[in-house]
Structure 1
Amino acid sequence: MFRKSIGLLAGMLVTVAVYAAGAQLRADHPDTYTVRRGDTLWDISAKFLSKPWLWPEIWQANPQVRNPHLIYPGDVLNLSFINGPRLGLQPRVRTEGEPVPAIPLSELRMFLKEMRVVDSGQLRDAPYVVGFEEARLRGAVGQNVYVRRLDAQPGQRWAIVRPTHVFRGFGKNDAGDSEEIVGHMLDSDVSTVRTPWSEDFRNDGHYGRGRDLGVEVSVIGTAEVLRGGDPSTLLLLDSTEEIRKGDRILPIDDKPYDAYYYPHAPKAVPGNARVIAFSEDVLDAAGRRQVVALSIGAKDGVENGQTYSIWQPGETIADDVASNSWNRGTGHRVTLPDEFVGHVMVFRTFDRVSYGLIMDGLKPVHVGGKLTLPE
């Protein structure tokens, strides 16, 4: 029996061992592939490996490779036969051009820098926009914004945020799984001024309040303090949307985000792990390279890079034959099997919620999709 090796034309030659139990080659892999601008390591690996999230094993198996992100547009991947149970990789270090990223960071910057999940109480008590210069109804860049409850000094900069989703826990379900977490979209027209927030319960039927697990906010602007007091006067430096009365003021998040991600399977999947919200409110479903919110977070042991399979729960339908009745749609019912729809990789975590990027998929991903080990 033989294995195939990937020969990467690049100056430092290193052979890296990957056993058959790890990154198996796809049956329909190409013989050669030229790396293109816009490719990611996941995309490239998916052309050769049946489990593309295992590509880090190729690199991490060899301590001489300090930086796995050494593949550049124009490099050619060649397949050749080699005897023995090992998969060989021969990378070459380059210094010109931009290397291929693991995942498309440019598409995630909004969720790395402009989205966060905060405590609901902290958000309710946060300073808020109360008005604008010349009695305007909305704020625009270069105008003064008046803020109440802000204790700050001239020159300090603050983030202006708007709540988008609230996450709630509803205790254990009938199967005894861990707490069910759902994401309720907030009415953007009133969520800035009403507390408790005006929530949309249509997707899950949870009309009770549940346990408040935090609120997702979107950073929509940055402002600098001109004068203290109550109200304080701030200059709006930049914004992605018009600023409204009721928008909250929070400290700017200066924490650096991960520059590299290493996809890997988790050791276990927390109970009742599901897709609970989409990045865009208008979406009924999400697809490849779109962001979803997941009902698991750092307190569940979730970390960046963990990759999961997403399964759509099977529908419950009438079994007309077993019902033995002319009245179709009544009597016996049966639940169809779950269907695999794609893979999602976690790229940012909070205590009870995380953001994931859909890496690939056969079908659209819907709210309620179940997460399992990526096999």
Structure 2
Amino acid sequence: MLLTLATAAIAAELREDHPTTYTVKKGDTLWDIAGRFLKKPWLWPEIWQANPQVQNPHLIYPGDVLSLVYIDGQPQITSEGPRVGEAVDTIPLSDVEPFLKHFTVVEDVEALPYVIGLEDDRLYSTAGQLAYVRGLAGAQPGQVVDIARPVHSFGGGDYANHAGRSPLDFRGDRTHTHWGNPPGFGEAGGEFLGYELQIHATGEVTQVQGEVAVVVLREEGREIRVGDRVMPSEAQPYDLQFQPRAPESVPEEARILSVADGMGAGPRLVVAISAGARDGIRNGHTFSIWHEGAIRPDTVRHGNLMSAKADEVEMPDDFLGHLMVFRTFDKVSYALVMDGIRPVSQGDLLKHPDATQ
């Protein structure tokens, strides 16, 4: 009976205008392909019939022919094709590439080596010039490093801004806090979630003398200044080959920490969320986004304002859209807003993608 109900539930989520077959094209994304067959793209793993006889069976390639078939009464998507070229990305690479390549989150920025000086005592340095790094213990000539600038802290204070993000100065210290804000989540909730760093350049260690390493900056990248932090360079720190899916559970009070443009975010814009690997969050996990309902005094029933405030009513949460996680750290993740009916803002709640209230 349970199997029959589950099968019927998945079948009910098929789009009425779904194709019987679809030939994958260059430029397609897995989210878009899933959306051709399903009302809810995050249900894709429920109908995708991966072929265990081929290498990387979950990947889809341009030229593959996807067919909707029924196996034991259950709708399934099967694939046949040449499987050549590059597999389709889960989400548009161009929308998230800056956050994949140029941003990272660490627990302790003060423990990282840092730029203590620049060639000819310049204020800033660019490609081909030398940076002097203190604290790069055990470095060897030829080692490749990333040079990053602390830009924000997530969480930590009792009275910092309610969005859970504070800007940092060149030492990695907060430049200001907003005293007097009420406790909430992230920073206002007291838990420190990590430091956001923006990677500005890549360099190569040329020599080490005592506790100072000399790093020559490579051509690509932004300017470097004293105080920038240094980390080992990762050849491939991210992976887009994952499937959209619902999370096993939603962390309590998971919220939007920040939006990429600092204002409101709409579809195809990046946000940071207050949940990560420690909460079971993985790439591909999809959430619905909600604006928390306001609490309003009943001024209709009560003419006296004090009486009205004593009889406050909580408004329902407002549905805004969906997002999908594409890069996960321990306590923070980056996600892409996939669809929406209203702009997303800092502080908005995350719920299961199927939530209705």
**TM bin (shorter chain):** 0.7 to 0.9
Q: 1:209 to 1:342 in 2, by over 3 A?
A: closer
For the residue of structure 2 that corresponds to 1:22, the secondary structure is: helix
Any idea what SS the aligned residue of 1:112 has? helix
Q: Equivalent of 2:225, from 219, 239, 244? A: 244
2:81 equivalent to 1:93: yes
**By how many angstroms is 1:250 displaced?**
1.6
Q: SS at 1:233's partner residue?
A: strand
**Match for residue 11 of structure 1?**
none
Matched, 1:223 2:180: no
- Deviates further, 18-27 or 140-149: 18-27
What amino acid is aligned across from residue 43 of structure 1 in structure 2? Answer: D
Pick from 211, 233, 254 the counterpart of residue 273 of structure 1.
254
Asked if the contact 1:166/1:185 (under 8 Å) is kept, the reply is yes
Aligned to 1:311: 290
Kindly indicate whether the alpha-carbon contact (under 8 Å) linking 1:128 and 1:148 is maintained by their aligned counterparts in 2: yes
State whether residues 157 and 252 of structure 1, in contact with CA within 8 Å, keep that contact through their aligned partners in structure 2. yes
The 8 Å contact of residues 70 and 92 in structure 1, kept in 2 or not, is answered as: no
Distance verdict in 2 for CA 1:363–1:35, change over 3 Å: farther
Equivalent positions of 1:139-178 (< 5 A) are 139-151=125-137, 152-168=139-155
Structure 1 position 197 matched with structure 2 position 163 = no
The structural deviation recorded for 1:134 is 2.5
SS of 2:35's partner is: helix
Structure-2 change in CA distance of 1:334 and 1:209 (3 Å): closer
Paired position in structure 1 for 2:120: 134
Change (3 A) 1:115 1:131: same
Q: How far apart are 1:155 and its partner, in Å?
A: 2.2
**Residue pair 2:67, 2:77 contacting (<8 A) in 1 also:** no
**Partner SS, residue 194 of structure 2:** strand
For the Cα contact (< 8 Å) 1:156–1:224, is it kept in 2?
yes
Whether 2:192 is the aligned partner of 1:212: answer: yes
The answer as to whether partners of 1:165 and 1:183 remain within 8 angstroms in 2 is: no
Counterpart amino acid of residue 221 in structure 1: A
Q: Structure 1 stretches of 5 or more lacking a match?
A: 1-17, 172-180
Contact kept, 8 Å, 1:34 with 1:76, in 2: the verdict is yes
Q: TM-score, normalised by structure 1?
A: 0.77
Post-superposition shift, 1:301? 1.8
Cα 1:204/1:293, change in 2 over 3 Å: farther
Which stretch shifts more, 152-161 or 363-372? 152-161
CA distance in 2, matches of 1:125, 1:71: 43
Aligned position for 1:55: 44
Question: Residue 127 of structure 2 aligns to which amino acid in structure 1?
Answer: V
| Gapped regions of structure 2 (runs ≥ 5) | 1-5
Closer, same or farther in 2 for the Cα pair 1:22/1:83, shift >3 Å? closer
- Within the alignment, does 1:114 sit opposite 2:102 as a pair? yes
Partner of 2:3: none
After superposition, the Cα gap between the structure-2 partners of 1:154 and 1:209, relative to the gap in structure 1 and judged at 3 Å, is farther
Q: Tell me, what secondary structure is at the counterpart of 1:277? A: strand
Task: Give the letter aligned to residue 154 of structure 2.
Answer: F
For the 8 Å contact 1:192–1:248, the answer to whether it is kept is no
Residue in 2 aligned with 1:300?
Answer: 279
Identity across matched positions, percent = 43
Q: Which amino acid aligns with 1:192?
A: F
Pairing partner for 1:186 from 154, 158, 167: 167
Checking the alignment, whether the CA contact within 8 Å between 1:159 and 1:222 is kept in structure 2 is yes
CA distance in 2, matches of 1:295, 1:272: 8
TM-superposed deviation, 1:336: 2.0
Query: Which residue of structure 2 aligns with residue 365 of structure 1?
Result: 344
Cα 1:90–1:301, aligned 2, differ >3 Å: closer, same or farther? closer
What corresponds to 1:68 in structure 2? 58
Offset, 1:344 = 1.6
- Secondary structure at the aligned position of 1:218 is classed as strand
Give 1:62 deviation, angstroms: 6.0
On the 8 A contact 2:125/2:225 being kept in 1, the answer is yes
Deviation at 1:130, TM superposition (A): 2.4
Paired amino acid for 1:237: R
Contact 1:184-1:200 at 8 Å conserved across structures: no
Which residue number in structure 2 is paired with residue 262 of structure 1? 243
Note closer, same or farther for the CA distance 1:127–1:326 as it changes in structure 2 (3 Å cut): closer
The alignment partner of 1:323 has SS state of: coil
CA-CA distance at 1:339 after TM superposition: 1.2
Q: Could you tell me whether the CA contact under 8 Å between 2:149 and 2:197 is conserved in 1?
A: yes
Alpha-carbon displacement from aligned partner over 1:201-244 (angstroms, at most 9, x marks no partner): 48965687934332111211111222323543221114532111
When the two structures are aligned, how many residues end up with a matched partner? Answer: 339
Please tell me the residue identity of whatever aligns with 1:349: T
Point out the more displaced range, 354-363 or 145-154. Answer: 145-154
Question: Post-superposition shift, 1:61?
Answer: 6.6
**Cα distance, 1:31–1:88 mapped onto 2, change above 3 Å:** closer
Q: Does 1:38 align with 2:27?
A: yes
Q: Contact 2:50/2:58 (CA < 8 Å) preserved in 1?
A: no
1:178 maps to: none
Q: Distance in 1 between matches of 2:273 and 2:264?
A: 14
Aligned CA RMSD, in angstroms, stands at 3.5
User: Is 1:316–1:336's contact at 8 Å kept on the other side of the alignment?
Assistant: yes
> In the alignment, is the contact (CA less than 8 A) between 1:184 and 1:201 conserved in 2?
no
TM-score when normalising by structure 2: 0.80
**Is the Cα–Cα contact under 8 Å of residues 130 and 215 in structure 2 kept in the other structure?**
yes
Q: Which amino acid in 1 is paired with 2:344?
A: V
TM-superposed CA distance for 1:319, in Å, is: 3.6
